[in-house]
Amino acid sequence: MYLRENPVLQRELLVNLRMNRAFLLLLTYVLLLSAAVMFAWPKAQRLDMSANPEDGKTLVELIFLEQYLLASLMAPSFAAGAITGEKERKSYEMLLASPLRPEAIVLGKLLASLTHLAVLIFCSLPIVMLCLPLGGVSLYEVLAVYLAVILSTITFGMISLAASSYFRRTSSSLVVSYLLVLPLALAGLFFWQALANQPSLRLLACVTVLPAITLLICTPLFVATSRRLLHPPDVGSEGKEVVDEEAEQRQAVGLIIQRDKFPDMLFAPAKRDDLLEDGANPIFDKEMRSEIFAQGTLMLRVVIMVSMALAVPMMAGFLFFWPDQAPWYVSYVILFNMLVGPVFSAGSVTSERERETLDLLLVTLLSPWQILWGKLVSALRVATVLTCFLLWPLVLACGLVSTYWPNWQTVLGYVAIVLLTSVTTSTLALFCSVVFRKTSVAMMMSYLLMALLFMSPIALVEFGRSFIIGATSWLDGVAFLTPFGAAFSLPLDHRLLGDHVRAGNWNVWFGFVAFDLALIGALIGAMLWLFKVRWRVAS
């Protein structure tokens, strides 16, 4: 019942592994990995492995880093919707009423959600074996690191599956999973780099410490998730699709919103008890007064608590003790916005499709521009407020730390980068919501496009500096494409600490602003065209 005769596992494997996108993802991953190895392969015709064994070691380290990042970024995307998907398809209660034990359901969902990712990881094994003759790394180290990647994948998947059991929507489960998984992934990466010069200690940690940590994390989560399925608190036909705001407020811990008090009345206006004014946008009015509770206050509370818990030590270190490292804290705020921003925008239009109200909306007298800006601004306000919870320490540090006083232009540049990134992520997620039909697909495509847009230039620069001779000059020119490059390009005068002035390049910042504004304009123009042409004709 747990493995060989587990219908949940069998059904999920048949559905997931036989889809066209599964083969397309596998082909794309293998081609990208092969291309990276081809460009990084040593150019010398004859290699002296005794004199330069670092060639193979660097190349294998690059592949392992890609595998680890793949596990940390994709494990939540596969597992975070395993149980919430049943709730959204209205099949959750039927699954719980089946003869399957809760442990079998959890195990089947976990294995099925991670099998595709395991296939991707093992597909790289022949490429790694091809790099072994270059020297610098042994077969035992390769097998130990593959064990570490597999255990990390299981850990990240179990965390995401547990989050999926506590939420009703995949979007909420996904963002909480990323908030929990990414700090663990960064800690593991830091630990791995700290042992770079001690391969024997790395090998010992992979076969002893990491399995113990995986068991310590996964066992309680597996037991807690199974118990939650055995005695589910979120089943029954009590009309739970309708949010009871008063009940939400009574049960809320750490998130109390008083709609008639300032500044809550700006963030979440009170329910309207009169008629709309002439010329008012009903889409904007409706979304502003109700959308904040659509994802549930549990998700908002978890996001606030986890993000602040991570921000406090980073704020103290990067802003107060080492003010010259302020771009690292700005990068954390940007990464947080990349995770949270799509949650409130990716379902703006797809939810209308899922409720079968999009056709009714399109035949009203409202113009596409009124529909789009009403949904964009209402979703943007939530993501921006959550991001500002982490942004205000930067403004506070500017007033308390004297090092920032002569750098007020740079601090304003940091704030502008974060705010512009917030608009970009929400607009990109709204575009995906217009193009795709399901909220889960729109959200995953939003994360994928943001990773390609913001992360790939950094990866390209680092890869070029490590493996392509003479590529630094043209690689530095792509820094304006990403907010991280713009943040690190700003000058920072920290002579008060006895250090030199870090030269900056304001041209990169201006290039980033111009590029993002052009991107936002292009996305809005494309959405207006789709509404005017494709969607109105289709309706």
pLDDT in tens, 409-429: 888 889 999 999 999 999 999
Q: Does the structure show a pLDDT above 90 at 65?
A: no
Residue 349: the pLDDT is 86
Mean of pLDDT values over 358-363: 79
Nearest residue to 163 via CA among 153, 173, 175 = 173
Averaged pLDDT of the chain:
79
Local confidence band at 319 (pLDDT 50, 70, 90 cut-offs): confident
- pLDDT greater at residue 37 or residue 50: 37
Distance CA 35, CA 317 (A): 39
Residue 525: the pLDDT is 92
Query: 364 and 282 in contact (C-beta within 8 Å)?
Result: no
The C-alpha R_g of the chain, in whole angstroms, comes to 25
Provide, rounded to the nearest whole percent, the portion of the chain with pLDDT above 90.
11
Q: Does the structure show a pLDDT above 70 at 47?
A: no
Residue 424: the pLDDT is 93
Judged by average pLDDT, the poorest of 241-250, 278-287, 304-313, 530-539 is 241-250
Q: Does the structure show a pLDDT above 90 at 470?
A: no
Mean of pLDDT values over 315-320: 81
- pLDDT greater at residue 345 or residue 264: 345
- Scored b (16 or more CB within 10 A) or e, 372-408 reads bbbbbbbbbbbbbbbbbebbebbeebbeebebbeebe
Mean of pLDDT values over 205-210: 85
Q: Does the structure show a pLDDT above 90 at 73?
A: no
Q: Does the structure show a pLDDT above 50 at 537?
A: no
How many residues comprise the chain? 539
Q: Does the structure show a pLDDT above 70 at 127?
A: yes
Nearest residue to 13 via CA among 96, 152, 136, 119 = 119
pLDDT of 144-197, one tens digit each?
Answer: 888 888 999 999 999 999 999 888 888 788 888 888 888 888 888 888 878 777
pLDDT of 101-119, one tens digit each?
Answer: 888 888 889 888 888 888 8
Three-state SS at 47: coil
Residue 288: the pLDDT is 73
Q: Does the structure show a pLDDT above 50 at 527?
A: yes
How many CA atoms within 13 Å lie on the side-chain side of 283?
Answer: 24
- State the amino acid at position 480 in one-letter form: F
Mean of pLDDT values over 53-68: 73
Local confidence band at 125 (pLDDT 50, 70, 90 cut-offs): confident
Between helix 20-40 and helix 102-123 the angle, nearest 10°, is 40
What are 389's two structure tokens?
Answer: 């919870």
Distance CA 447, CA 477 (A): 24
Mean of pLDDT values over 493-520: 74
Per DSSP, what are the bridge partners of residue 493?
A: 501
Q: What is the pTM of this model?
A: 0.81
Residue 156: the pLDDT is 92
- 384: CB partners within 8 A, 6+ apart: 419, 422
- State the amino acid at position 479 in one-letter form: A
Residue 217: the pLDDT is 92
pLDDT of 379-395, one tens digit each?
Answer: 888 888 888 888 888 87
Distance CA 499, CA 322 (A): 11
- pLDDT greater at residue 380 or residue 253: 380
Q: Does the structure show a pLDDT above 50 at 253?
A: no
Q: Which of 119-133, 163-177, 261-275, 282-296 has the highest mean pLDDT?
A: 163-177
Residue 496: the pLDDT is 44
Distance CA 303, CA 167 (A): 13
Nearest residue to 334 via CA among 374, 297, 307 = 307
Nearest residue to 424 via CA among 510, 530, 512 = 512
Local confidence band at 296 (pLDDT 50, 70, 90 cut-offs): low
Q: What DSSP state is assigned to residue 227? A: H
Ranges of beta strands (E only) in 251-325 are none
DSSP 321-373: I-GGGHHHHHHHHHHHHHHHHHHHHTTTTHHHHHTT-HHHHHTSS--HHHHHH
DSSP 447-462: HHHHIIIIIHHHHHHH
Q: Does the structure show a pLDDT above 50 at 316?
A: yes
Nearest residue to 488 via CA among 468, 512, 467 = 512
- pLDDT greater at residue 498 or residue 31: 31
Query: 446 and 427 in contact (C-beta within 8 Å)?
Result: no
Q: Does the structure show a pLDDT above 90 at 494?
A: no
Q: Does the structure show a pLDDT above 60 at 536?
A: no
- 408: CB partners within 8 A, 6+ apart: 398
Residue 238: the pLDDT is 45
Q: Does the structure show a pLDDT above 50 at 242?
A: no
